[in-house]
Structure 1
Amino acid sequence: MDIPENYKDIEINGRKFRLNKMDAKTGSFMLFKLMKILTPMVKNIKTDEKEVDLANLNLTEIAESLFDLEEKEFRYIQDNALQVVQELLGAGPTKVLNQFGEFEANNIEFDTGLVMNLTVQSLYFNIKGFFKGSPLESMLKGLNISQLNLKM
């Protein structure tokens, strides 16, 4: 049995962040919320194959459920994802987003790319274990989330 990974340190544009696990109840609810979005995205994927051929996926069709996401639902997902992320500073870790939805990390509130990067990586880190051993695992790996860490 693998030892659970409760956090993961990443670097984006020279800044260091820690992705932490959500508590199990929040993580479970987030998974259900995300399944509502992911289900239409993966409905045409053949589940009998071990590897998913990303080259044959229709990205417009896949992203359709994202385009229909209401702002309130998006903010709920994003806030929960960012509230478990910390920026690692010399003086100690600082929350990226507090429980009131306010940014605590410096110079992040107007950096859409960084905020989206942290959101996606936090969500992936928190739900990836659910897909272990399924065809979706190869799809998520194929998306190569680590590419989001490249310096711009």
Structure 2
Amino acid sequence: MGRENSKIIELQGRKFEIKKFDAFTGGYIIFQLFEKFMPMGLENKIPLQNDKTMNEVLPQNRTGMTKAEFISFMKDCLSAAGEVLPARTAPIINENGTWGIMDIKDNTLLAVLLVIHVLTFNVADFFSASGLKELQQAIQGISLANLKI
């Protein structure tokens, strides 16, 4: 069975299609989560081996997001979603960054719920125990002796 690349969800009586990020966007989003969202206390919720948390592993000089960074982050997430309409699936965010579905721009709850669904669909496996374990093993397997400077 192949990897699921999209799914349909229902929010506020409407249907939306959530798609997978491309690898570049997904990597960017994950690094943004580590650098910008983890300072909000989320790092304490992610268990690692030896009873450590992400907070003990991540750098302590991380900062929160500016409003512009947060808007950009939301647009990146919402660009992976579209509303399923009878004739087509309309993008939530157009390629030029403008709203594709105008009534969502004034519906904070719906926009935030869509972002949460997009993030869950796209990065949940990365933050699962096996995903974090695989990342940790890969990082631990990097030897400075093998690097040519």
TM-score by length of 2: 0.70
Aligned-pair RMSD on alpha carbons? 2.7
Highest RCO, 1 vs 2 (Cα 8 Å, sep ≥ 6): 1
Verify: 1:10 aligned to 2:6, yes or no. Answer: no
Residue of structure 2 equivalent to 1:93: 89
Verify: 1:111 aligned to 2:107, yes or no. Answer: yes
Residues 1:107 and 1:28: Cα distance change in structure 2 (over 3 Å): same
Q: How far is the alpha carbon of 1:3 from its aligned partner? A: 2.5
Verify: 1:24 aligned to 2:23, yes or no. Answer: yes
Question: What is the aligned counterpart of 1:79 among 67, 75, 78?
Answer: 75
CA distance in 2, matches of 1:42, 1:108: 27
Q: How far is the alpha carbon of 1:132 from its aligned partner? A: 2.6
Q: Deviations over 1:15-71 (max 9, x none)?
A: 000110110111111100111134332444553489xxxxxxxxxxxxxx89x3211
SS class of match (1:28): helix
Give yes or no for contact 1:47–1:135 (8 Å, CA) kept in 2. no
Residue of structure 2 equivalent to 1:120: 116
Letter in 2 for 1:7: S
Residue of structure 1 equivalent to 2:34: 35
Q: What 5-or-longer segments of structure 2 have no aligned partner? A: 52-61, 133-149
Residues 1:43 and 1:129: Cα distance change in structure 2 (over 3 Å): closer
CA distance in 2, matches of 1:78, 1:44: 23
Instruction: Give the count of matched residue pairs.
Output: 121
SS class of match (1:126): helix
Give yes or no for contact 1:83–1:96 (8 Å, CA) kept in 2. yes
Give yes or no for contact 1:49–1:135 (8 Å, CA) kept in 2. no
CA distance in 2, matches of 1:49, 1:128: 22
- Structure 1 stretches of 4+ with a deviation exceeding 6 A read none
CA distance in 2, matches of 1:43, 1:110: 31
CA distance in 2, matches of 1:108, 1:78: 13
